[in-house]
Amino acid sequence: GAVVSQHPSRVICKSGTSVKIECRSLDFQATTMFWYRQFPKQSLMLMATSNEGSKATYEQGVEKDKFLINHASLTLSTLTVTSAHPEDSSFYICSAIREGRGTQYFGPGTRLLVL
């Protein structure tokens, strides 16, 4: 089956620092990847759509200068949380669309804790 990985799985950082999260499709090419955040006991909220070779499309209310997304290849998208603050603490999940199939596969998530 299609596998999507995320790295790191868990990160703790100090307020004001930047954190990069990687999302990789391990056995398929993904022209489109999505980034979600999920707070405890809540649903997934789409943050942005990442397309290979072009600028990401951000959802309303998501600061593009704070959440930098780069989709440099067909297997890798990165989310950088800049100047992180405690309110950015959340579970960040990426997903990838398998090219030619249309099925969306999710990564295992990254737990971010900002102190």
CA distance 114 to 104: 29
Is residue 21 a contact residue for another protein (CB under 8 A)? no
By the rule CB under 8 A, 106 interacts with another protein: yes
Tokens of 23: 């999302």
Tokens standing for residue 84:
């992180």
Q: Is 32 among the residues that bind another protein (CB under 8 A)?
A: yes
Helix (H) / strand (E) containing 45:
strand 44-51
Minimum CB separation from another protein for residue 72, in Å? 20
Q: Retrieve residue 21's tokens.
A: 């999260």
Residue number, 1 or 86, with CB nearest to another protein? 1
Closest CA to 67 of 44, 49, 53, 43: 49
Q: Which residue stretch of 12-20, 68-76, 82-90, 106-114 sits at the interface with another protein (rule: CB under 8 A)?
A: 106-114
The identity of residue 62, as a single letter, is V
Strands 104-106 and 67-73 come out as unpaired
How many residues sit close enough to another protein to count as binding (CB under 8 A)? 24
Q: Name residues contacting another protein, limited to 39-58 (CB under 8 A).
A: 41-44, 46, 49
Q: Rule CB under 8 A: say whether 97 interacts with another protein.
A: yes
Give the interface with another protein as residue ranges (CB under 8 A).
4, 6, 32, 34, 41-44, 46, 49, 91, 93, 95, 97, 101-109, 111
